[in-house]
Amino acid sequence: MKRLRSDLVLWVMVFICAASMVLAGCGKKAAVEKVEKEEMAEKAEEQVPSAKPITEERVFYGFENDLMGWEIPAWAESKSDYVAMQMGLSSDFASEGSNALKVETDFPGTAWAAALVEIQQYLDISRYRVIRADIYLPADAPVGLKANLILTVGSNWKFVEMNQSVPLMPGEWATISASVEPGSYDWKRVVPDKDFAQDVRKIAVRIISNRKPAYTGPVYVDNIRVGR
């Protein structure tokens, strides 16, 4: 009988000890989860792009006197679906100043094709919230062309293009704009972090015809800038 009581007391003590450990573990787990949730909430709050209006801009490329390093890259010249034929300065149209970059294109209208111009230059634009460019399509051009911006960023030279392309309306200037702030959803398969805009290595403007329309003629690029 005494042995039975001893065993019973022992099992009660083991049960109490185990319960205490479980409760302590649960309490610790709950505390950790709470801290993790708070950290995630803070991080998410930090990574929401600002909704404030852009009140200050800095023009990087206005094309007033020269091409400023912009070119049709060699890799694009070697591809049949890239159709920028030549480029130069023009005073035909300008969204700021007197000149713009004139890109001669030849879209066949039978398959996807693009005309791309770019510059390779190391830039830190992390002090700014958006990057923008103005594109002009002559009045006699067809409806259906679109344009977007592409950045190459980081030491691994990551190619990052905009999520959405902007329709180009004949006879009108169109502004392409994308946020570079942490948390922006303006880019395909990439959500910028705090380092995204610190190491920009290339900026490209791409004009796109998705099978149609066919168009042979110029497209004008101007006023490539950042804003905050």
Its domain, for residue 10, covers 1-46
Q: Please indicate, yes or no, whether residues 71 and 12 belong to a single structural domain of this protein.
A: no
- Answer whether residue 52 is part of any domain: no
Low-confidence ranges of the chain (pLDDT < 70): 1-46
Q: Do the domain assignments include residue 109? A: yes
User: For residue 48, what pLDDT is reported?
Assistant: 85
Residue 164 pLDDT:
96
**What confidence score (pLDDT) does residue 41 get?**
44
74: domain CATH number? 2.60.120.260
Task: Extract the tokens encoding 53.
Answer: 């209006």
pLDDT of 154-172, one tens digit each? 999 999 999 999 999 999 9
Question: Are 109 and 218 contained in the same domain?
Answer: yes
Phi and psi based region of residue 217 (left: phi greater than 0; alpha: psi -120 to 50; beta: remaining): left
Nearest to residue 72, comparing CAs of 90, 58, 87? 87
Rounded CA separation 139/219 (Å): 11
Query: Which residue, among 190, 215, 203, has the nearest Cα to 114 in the 3D structure?
Result: 215
